[in-house]
Chains A and B, each alone.
Chain A
Amino acid sequence: MNGSKTLSTAALAMALGLAAMLDAGAVSPPTYPGDSIYLLKVALTDQHGTPVALDRYAGHPTVVSMFYGSCPHICPMLVASTARLQRELPEAQRDRMKVLFVSFDPGDTPALLGEVLEKQGIDSKGWTLARTSADEVRLVAATLGIRYKQLPDGSFSHATILTLLDPQGRPLARTERFTDPEPEFRAALAAATAR
């Protein structure tokens, strides 16, 4: 039994290796579940100018959304409300919650993204505000179910939705009431960070 098991394991490994070879240039390696947002491969740059991937906080519960740097009202509110959600968690759980916001605006610079956090007095540890190309913005938005369009004056008209991801990148909860999320969303966040 043992021998044949080893053999079939080796066979499986070879088959997988072959599959991986055939898969060259594939969208993503099969490391996440099929409904994980982390399957989307996009090249992000964070507020420090560091290249990062969508799954940079894999392994942690993460709150994701989209915004843009020059957005006058809603986006600062989004950042402030999310920081408040974090503060309202029991102290031991706060650091377990990560935040990843992707900008609609490919023109947002790391410096501008950093300022957004600074203005709100947010310690950027565990927070990522990221920019990417226009092409990838549309992919991220489609993946998160966030509708938006750029207006002729360069601003963006957009839905604002917070999504809580589990450590594998699967959506646990969503809210459109980001200034005052439903009890279900708060409960999901509390539970996810308690583990």
Chain B
Amino acid sequence: MRQPAFAIGAALLLSLAGTAGAAAPATRAVDIPGGRFTSVLPVAPGVYETVVPAYTLDATAVTNAQFLAFVSTRPEWRRGTAPALFADERYLERWAGPLALGERVAPDAPVTGVSWFAARAYCGAQGARLPRWIEWEFAAAADESRTDARADPAWRQRMLDWYGERGGRPLGAVGRDAASYYGTHDLAAGVWEWVEDSNALLVSSDNREQGDPDLMKFCGAGALTMQDREAYAVLMRIAMLSSLEARYTTRDLGFRCAGRKVTR
């Protein structure tokens, strides 16, 4: 008879945890008007310019507290419960427990150690979605005063400095960097971020290559015809995301959502 009582007790605890977690501050989304944009990746053979439709993007990455609120109400996404198919064995490993952040994980820091499946489920539960790569790239092209600052070496340097800085240092609160022209934070220097089409980035944009049996699995070498040697700061992001399977997690990889309604 003890076990059901225990289970009910645990259920009560879980629902309390859910209530507590739900108090995490909501994320603000910002409008990004979109427009003509030159990507570092070709959209078609030799074509880099495209028109990005208007969208909304979260101003900041999803935090530990926010993700805790999510798993509190969605048991199937808890560490230890989420199946290996959707999250590898390091899923949320820095948290003290499936429903506890612990001392060394700041509630207002970006959540990391989440798989693409988990990130996607989180955004879906908010009525949102993961941004597509082109949307991430478009927003990240802005600095504090310009919509496209990529020609400025200072813009590139900021991204490169972040690559150099990473390495074991604890993640700080989201939104510490100055707001961009659009009102986003930390795109250039926060965490690596999942995108909806992470597994499409290095797929060749020339489908004629499919006719060659030696190219039936794309290595992406052809896709990475850099149109601009200076683009490598962004290409490092692409290389990183492309190297991951959707179930993988890493300590520096988080996400933000897109498509959320902008509250005014």
Q: Which residues of A contact B (CB under 8 A)?
A: 7-8, 11-12, 14-15, 18-19, 22-23, 25-28, 34-37, 39-40, 73-74, 138-139, 141-143, 145-149, 151-153, 155-161, 176-179
Whether the pair B3, A15 counts as a contact (CB closer than 8 A) is yes
Q: Which bracket fits the contact residues of B? A: 35 or more
Of B57-65, B106-114, B192-200, B250-258, the stretch lying at the interface with chain A is B192-200
Is B23 an interface residue, CB under 8 A from the partner? no
Whether the pair A39, B246 counts as a contact (CB closer than 8 A) is no
Across the interface, B217 reaches (CB within 8 A) one of A11, A22, A39, A176, namely A176
Q: Inter-chain contact count A-B, CB under 8 Å? A: 115
Nearest residue, chain A, Cβ from B3: A11
Whether the pair B202, A34 counts as a contact (CB closer than 8 A) is no
Residues of A contacting B14 with CB < 8 Å? 22
Across the A-B interface, give the 6 residue pairs with the lowest CB-CB distance, nearest first: A11-B3, A142-B246, A149-B200, A34-B83, A15-B7, A176-B217
Is B263 an interface residue, CB under 8 A from the partner? no
A148 touching B203 in the complex, CB below 8 Å, given contacts A23-B75, A37-B85, A159-B217: yes
A142 touching B216 in the complex, CB below 8 Å, given contacts A11-B1, A37-B85, A73-B210: no
A25 to B2, CA, bound (A): 28
Residues of A contacting B37 with CB < 8 Å? none
For residues 146 through 197 of chain B, which have their beta carbon under 8 Å from a beta carbon of chain A?
196-197
A179 to B210, CA, bound (A): 13
Whether the pair B210, A157 counts as a contact (CB closer than 8 A) is yes
Whether the pair B211, A74 counts as a contact (CB closer than 8 A) is yes
Whether the pair B11, A152 counts as a contact (CB closer than 8 A) is no
For residues 184 through 234 of chain B, which have their beta carbon under 8 Å from a beta carbon of chain A?
196-197, 199-200, 202-207, 209-211, 213, 216-218
Residues of B contacting A143 with CB < 8 Å? 85, 246
Closest Cβ of chain B: how far from A85's Cβ, in Å? 16
Residues of B contacting A22 with CB < 8 Å? 11, 14, 75
Whether the pair B199, A147 counts as a contact (CB closer than 8 A) is yes
Residues of B contacting A8 with CB < 8 Å? 3
Closest Cβ of chain B: how far from A143's Cβ, in Å? 7
A157 to B47, CA, bound (A): 15
Nearest residue, chain A, Cβ from B44: A152
Residues of B contacting A36 with CB < 8 Å? 83, 85
Q: Which residues of B contact A (CB under 8 A)?
A: 1-4, 6-8, 11, 14, 43-44, 47, 74-76, 83-86, 116-117, 120-121, 196-197, 199-200, 202-207, 209-211, 213, 216-218, 245-246
Whether the pair A23, B4 counts as a contact (CB closer than 8 A) is no
Residues of B contacting A177 with CB < 8 Å? 213, 216
Nearest residue, chain A, Cβ from B199: A147
Whether the pair B203, A152 counts as a contact (CB closer than 8 A) is no
Give the residue among B6, B75, B207, B217 with the most A Cβ atoms within 10 A. B207
A7 touching B216 in the complex, CB below 8 Å, given contacts A141-B199, A152-B44, A157-B203: no
Closest Cβ of chain B: how far from A140's Cβ, in Å? 11
A138 touching B216 in the complex, CB below 8 Å, given contacts A8-B3, A18-B8, A143-B85: no
Residues of A contacting B199 with CB < 8 Å? 138, 141-142, 146-148
A159 to B245, CA, bound (A): 14
Residues of A contacting B245 with CB < 8 Å? 142, 145
27 chain-A/chain-B pairs, Cβ below 8 angstroms: A7-B1, A11-B7, A15-B6, A18-B7, A23-B76, A25-B74, A26-B74, A27-B76, A27-B121, A34-B83, A35-B85, A39-B85, A39-B86, A74-B211, A74-B216, A142-B116, A142-B117, A142-B199, A142-B246, A148-B199, A148-B200, A149-B205, A151-B43, A151-B207, A157-B206, A159-B216, A179-B213
Whether the pair B85, A34 counts as a contact (CB closer than 8 A) is yes
Residues of A contacting B86 with CB < 8 Å? 27, 39
Residues of B contacting A15 with CB < 8 Å? 3-4, 6-7
